[in-house]
Amino acid sequence: MANYNDIIGRPDVADALIPDGVATEIIKEAPKNSAILTNAKRSRLSTKKTKQPVLSTLPEAYWVDGDTGMKQTSKAVWKNLNIVAEELAVIVPIPDALADDAGINLWEEVKPLIAEAIAYKIDAAAIFGVDKPDSWPAAIVPAATKAGNTLAQGTNDDLGADVAAIAGKVSAQGYPVNGFLSAPGLNWELIGLRDEQGRPIYSPNMAVGQPSALYGFPLNEVETGGWDPDKAKIVALDWSKQVVGIRQDITYDIFREGVITDDAGKVIINLMQQDMKALRVVMRVGWTTATPTTRISKGKGYPAGVITPPAEPTTTS
Fold annotation for 31-308: Major capsid protein gp5 fold (3.30.2400)
Residue 121's pLDDT is 95
- The conformational region for residue 157 under phi > 0 = left, psi -120 to 50 = alpha, else beta, is alpha
Residue 21's pLDDT is 47
- Smallest CA-to-CA distance from 288 within 48, 84, 13 is with 84
Give the global pTM.
0.81
Answer yes or no: is pLDDT of 26 > 60: no
Q: Kindly state the helix (H) or strand (E) to which residue 15 belongs, with its residue range.
A: helix 10-17
* Mean pLDDT of the 117-131 span: 95
Burial grade of 146 (CB within 10 A; 0-12, 13-18, 19 or more)? exposed
Residue 61's pLDDT is 78
pLDDT digits (tens, 9 = 90+) for 162-190: 999 999 999 999 999 999 999 998 888 88
Residue 24's pLDDT is 44
Answer yes or no: is pLDDT of 14 > 60: no
The Cα–Cα gap between 9 and 97 comes to: 10
pLDDT digits (tens, 9 = 90+) for 193-239: 777 787 777 777 656 667 788 888 999 999 999 999 999 999 999 99
pLDDT digits (tens, 9 = 90+) for 233-251: 999 999 999 999 888 888 8
Mapping DSSP onto H, E and C, the string for 142-172 reads HHHHHCCCEEECCCCCCHHHHHHHHHHHHHC
Half-sphere exposure of 135 (CA within 13 A, CB side): 14
Residue 83's pLDDT is 85
